[in-house]
Structure 1
Amino acid sequence: MAESRHALFSQFAASDWNGFLKGVEKEGLRVDRNGFIAQTPHPESLGSTLTHPRITTDYSESLLELITPVCKSTTEMLESLRNIHRFVQQKLGDEVFWAGSMPCELDGDASIPIAEYGTSNIGRLKHVYRQGLAVRYGRMMQSIAGAHYNLSLPDEFWQKWQSLLGNQDSLKDFKSDQYFWLIRNFRRRSWLLMLLFGASPALDASFVANVSHHLDRFDANTWYGLDATSLRMGDLGYHNNAQSSLNICFNKLDSYTGALHRAIHTPWPAYESIGTSREDQFIQINTNVLQIENEYYSPVRPKRTTEREEKPIQALQARGVEYIEVRCLDLDPFSPVGVNESQIDFLDLFLLDCLLSDSPRIGDAECERMDDNYDDVVAHGRDRTLTLCRAGERLAVGQAASELLDRLEPLAEKLDSWTGSQTYRSALKAQRDKVPETGIWSVPSAQVVTAMEASGMGHREWVLEMSRRHQQTLRDEALEPDVRAAFEAMTESSLTEQKQLEESDTQPFGEFLEQYLKS
């Protein structure tokens, strides 16, 4: 019962509570001064995208990804993220770091350069994987950016929690089981995050130049969803038919890894017709439903840090779940670093309650209802007449949101009592204020549309203006000398490491890929 787990948690004392471990991976496009996707290579002054621990690229050579270390507080994590931004902004010259999730002006697939990682076999593998994404889905979808939030709880928490539950499994197995418990409730409630944090209701007309859609015209260069919260997470974003057939189960670790393993080894006719090479160049890793695990798009993932050349499935099976990756967060275009403090603190509260609430296994019928709720909020979340399915009945989206937020109040009070602060109650209030029972909702998607209307700008011009403001703000904030020196050292070290990898790599790539697939 939900109450029994919350009651067990009440047996923790302030001295037992060590808080959360957290980190963020924040993506964003480099664009030129006019708001067109950058055609330049990744700046060498930012180091090697293959080996740098803090600065890399995602799909495109122009799509930066900034990665914080594991931090023990929101303050520490946001300062780390801000320092990475400060360093990057100093190195971009005339280019701008795009502040929105939906991309800048594009000119079809050819305008989106695929990321390069050098000539080592592992570097070439990363590039071929991205070539595979291009031939499977097109490059346009891969130009979208977001923030991934990673959260775990320290082993001291898990040991106490395991004792209170009377569980006799190994700590590794117990933690994995409990993280999946959390994930099941996350999937039931993730629609709320799309309402509270969805911030991509509009997009540049170039993104859908040759695509049929049902969006409304905002201006000559902008389309938007009248009630949409996140076009990034809708049908125009991360979506494809092959993956819709997967039916990935999040009930337990072995069923999850088993389903992914089958997908990586199950041929898909459309991909077989493409083949793995063209004119002696590899264009995808394989012709199966998934090339690798990371190709599976999901709002949440169980994760385990991998060793070099180790596959995510292998790491999970060998060492269990280490942390949860929340992948459905749009960039906050009003924040210089794409996320904000009250958002992160609320996510901690939200995820902890997912762990402490009853979480039965998910059957096919419930899975379909959860997906429908999520998709409805993504497409129509700002329509207050929208109803969601809950426990066999329909409930207005505002009422459903209020009830979920209300249930978090006792937990917020408990955590704040342990730390002598208002952190979690303030974060909870900030979310409640977005969706009042009466009056205008101020969810981020609505704020974006309002800001564009007030400025007289469309998506392209407004996001470019916000990006320039953030750039100036961050460039005005000088890095501490020791922090700057540390980043410069990471840059040089990463370039040296990549060079050493390339010089020591003598195996032909075809043989390397064959061994990789067999492993």
Structure 2
Amino acid sequence: MTTIKQKLERLTSAQVTKAINNIKRGIERESLRVNTDGKLSQLDHPIALGAALTHPYVTTDFSESLLELITPPSNNINTTFAQLKDVHKFVAQNIGDEVLWPMSMPCFINNEDDIRIAQFGNSNVGKMKSTYRTGLKNRYGSMMQAISGIHYNFSLPTEFWQVLKELDGSDDDSQDYQSAKYMHMVRNIKRFVWIVTYLYGASPAMCKSFLKGRETGLDFDSFGKGSIFLKNGTSLRMSDLGYTNSAQSELNIEYGSLTQYIEKLRKAIHTESAEYKKIGVKVDGEYKQLNHNILQIENELYAPVRPKQIAESGEKPTDALANRGIMYVELRALDVNPFSPYGISLEQMHVLDVFLMYCLLSSETELTDAQQQEAEENQDAVVLEGRKPDLELSHNGVTKSRSNWLGEIFDDFTTIAAWLDTHYGKTDYSDAIKATLPSVTEPANTLSGKVLSKLQTTQTDNGVFGLQLAQQYKQEILNNETSEFSAEFLQQESVKSLQNQQDVENADSVNFDDFLTEYFKY
């Protein structure tokens, strides 16, 4: 079996350096708008932030109060982080006294009805987005939809795939080869995603209001006036309480090839659910959901990673993948980092690049049903007990201690980081891996360990801590100088987005019922 080190020794040419310097990244950061008293904002998406439907950098996710801040694809990691900072400043300047919630698990929410579904205007596309969210509310409840995360988008350039294809001696079509390699990466992200959750899970605690008296079966401890936590937990967001696929466990999505993935996803979109049928679709003239199938649309699949292709106007995500193959992967397993005003740090971004390259270069090829089950059990164990000193996981049926297995993996991370640094002419990747190494053997150094330590040493409620950070970060964000996106540029984008939304609305030529019928027709 060829080691990662041996593979990298073949990837040293000037052509590879040029390709590596064209790796593109993008970030999507979700965050609730919160009042000065720590409660969820009840205000509309601010008009100064433009139209959520058409603004390229600022939109909403499930609710009016759940912002999503987006950076465009860039081949410079520092530029991406600077853009994220600039978009944060623009938002902070245009939300009045409100602040951005700095954690994945939500602030105090008195009632599910306080979570107002996002509105995207009167166009058919806008109505579809809101109706989809109504369906999520009716299927899973709104509370789960108040959870925030970070999505990290990662794309390797055509030149890189060409070099790799030549080295592999493959005569596959270029697009097919690229998609096959991306699917290899996706399978290994599924296999090793527990590493991301262990290092960067940052939601071991939450406000008790999230449960609303529901029984969970989880062994919570409580502290303060209304906070609960899991002693060794890493990410309540990734548990059955949040964005997990427990409700979708029978979908059996396959990752063996892009074709398999598309077929399974399409099947889920076209297979009726007896449970969701009970909700109804259009009841008394009001839509309760887009349809009563297992998934309303592709986006409803809660997975820690998605292979992606940019969809053209009116094109479904699976059609875009089928037509043009995979362009990038979207890593969705990241909690919001409470120790960064931007929800993620530059150091994390460097480590994530290394992790994703490791998933591409790893010799693990298949992901059988048994291996997928094993991967999910490892992830669940790390979610609930990740910082347990003697935690054991399973690798191809062999039991391994978390720290020993991580130590082996970090040896490869160190090799990949040095290789990346060679091509970039810097030491940023090696520095980031070095800075992360203490977490390998000492769980207290992970983000979840730091969060719990902070809460326990200061005897502060989770909600109080979140609000203190939110207020502190708002000042910090406002004091930053912009470097990529000026306030004027983002204001122009807001004005443009309002006009673009109007244009979309004016272009509609059929009613909403007919629009949906046409959209779901194959």
**TM-score for the superposition, normalised by structure 1:** 0.97
SS in 2 for 1:238: coil
Aligned to 1:42: 45
CA contact (8 A) 2:82 2:483 kept: no
CA contact (8 A) 2:245 2:303 kept: no
Aligned to 2:365: 360
1:503 is displaced (CA, Å) by: 2.2
Aligned counterpart in structure 1 of residue 404 of structure 2, from 366, 382, 399: 399
Aligned to 1:239: 244
Aligned counterpart in structure 1 of residue 494 of structure 2, from 491, 496, 506: 491
Which moves more between the two structures, 89-98 or 12-21? 12-21
Aligned to 2:16: 16
CA contact (8 A) 1:303 1:323 kept: yes
Taking the aligned partners of 1:102 and 1:482, their CA distance within structure 2 comes to 29
Post-superposition Cα deviations, 1:281-308, rounded to whole Å, max 9, x if no partner, equal 1111110100000000000110001112
Aligned to 2:7: 7
Which moves more between the two structures, 181-190 or 324-333? 181-190
Distance 1:409 1:499, change over 3 A: same
CA contact (8 A) 1:87 1:479 kept: no
Aligned ranges for residues 216-365 of structure 1 at < 5 Å? 216-239=221-244, 241-365=246-370
Taking the aligned partners of 2:500 and 2:227, their CA distance within structure 1 comes to 44
- Which residue identity does 2:95 align to in structure 1? L
1:15 is displaced (CA, Å) by: 4.6
Does residue 201 in structure 1 map to residue 212 in structure 2?
Answer: no
Aligned counterpart in structure 2 of residue 477 of structure 1, from 477, 480, 485: 480
1:240 is displaced (CA, Å) by: 5.2
CA contact (8 A) 2:29 2:149 kept: yes
SS in 2 for 1:227: coil
Which moves more between the two structures, 473-482 or 400-409? 473-482
CA contact (8 A) 1:2 1:357 kept: no
Taking the aligned partners of 1:339 and 1:487, their CA distance within structure 2 comes to 21
Which moves more between the two structures, 193-202 or 478-487? 478-487
Distance 1:482 1:509, change over 3 A: closer
Distance 1:478 1:75, change over 3 A: closer
- Which residue identity does 2:16 align to in structure 1? D
Distance 1:8 1:428, change over 3 A: closer
SS in 2 for 1:23: strand
Distance 1:471 1:165, change over 3 A: same
CA contact (8 A) 1:100 1:331 kept: yes
1:210 is displaced (CA, Å) by: 2.6
Count of aligned pairs: 517
1:202 is displaced (CA, Å) by: 0.5
Does residue 138 in structure 1 map to residue 141 in structure 2?
Answer: yes
Taking the aligned partners of 2:503 and 2:11, their CA distance within structure 1 comes to 53
Post-superposition Cα deviations, 1:1-35, rounded to whole Å, max 9, x if no partner, equal 34278436534324522322111100000011111
SS in 1 for 2:3: helix
Aligned to 1:508: 511
SS in 1 for 2:119: coil
Taking the aligned partners of 1:14 and 1:219, their CA distance within structure 2 comes to 58
SS in 2 for 1:441: helix
Post-superposition Cα deviations, 1:378-422, rounded to whole Å, max 9, x if no partner, equal 110010121001233222211221111112222222222233321
The unaligned stretches of length 5 or more in structure 2 are none
Aligned to 1:422: 427
1:454 is displaced (CA, Å) by: 2.7
Taking the aligned partners of 1:134 and 1:154, their CA distance within structure 2 comes to 38
RMSD between aligned residues? 1.5
SS in 2 for 1:30: strand
Post-superposition Cα deviations, 1:462-518, rounded to whole Å, max 9, x if no partner, equal 011111111000111243697111101100000001112212323110111111111
Distance 1:440 1:299, change over 3 A: closer
CA contact (8 A) 1:182 1:359 kept: no
1:239 is displaced (CA, Å) by: 3.2
CA contact (8 A) 1:6 1:357 kept: no
Taking the aligned partners of 2:213 and 2:284, their CA distance within structure 1 comes to 28
Percent identity, aligned pairs only, is 39
CA contact (8 A) 2:244 2:303 kept: no
Distance 1:410 1:241, change over 3 A: closer
- Which residue identity does 2:445 align to in structure 1? S
- Which residue identity does 2:352 align to in structure 1? L
CA contact (8 A) 2:55 2:494 kept: yes
SS in 1 for 2:151: strand
Does residue 435 in structure 1 map to residue 444 in structure 2?
Answer: no
CA contact (8 A) 1:26 1:65 kept: yes
Taking the aligned partners of 1:481 and 1:383, their CA distance within structure 2 comes to 42
CA contact (8 A) 1:435 1:441 kept: no
Distance 1:227 1:431, change over 3 A: same
SS in 2 for 1:325: strand
Aligned ranges for residues 85-96 of structure 1 at < 5 Å? 85-96=88-99
Distance 1:9 1:116, change over 3 A: farther
The unaligned stretches of length 5 or more in structure 1 are none
- Which residue identity does 2:402 align to in structure 1? V
Post-superposition Cα deviations, 1:46-92, rounded to whole Å, max 9, x if no partner, equal 00000000000011110000110111122111001000001000001
Aligned to 2:414: 409
SS in 2 for 1:39: coil
SS in 1 for 2:445: coil
**TM-score for the superposition, normalised by structure 2:** 0.96
Does residue 187 in structure 1 map to residue 223 in structure 2?
Answer: no
1:233 is displaced (CA, Å) by: 0.1
SS in 1 for 2:69: strand
- Which residue identity does 1:470 align to in structure 2? Y
Distance 1:160 1:206, change over 3 A: same
Distance 1:8 1:343, change over 3 A: closer
Distance 1:343 1:409, change over 3 A: same
- Which residue identity does 2:312 align to in structure 1? E
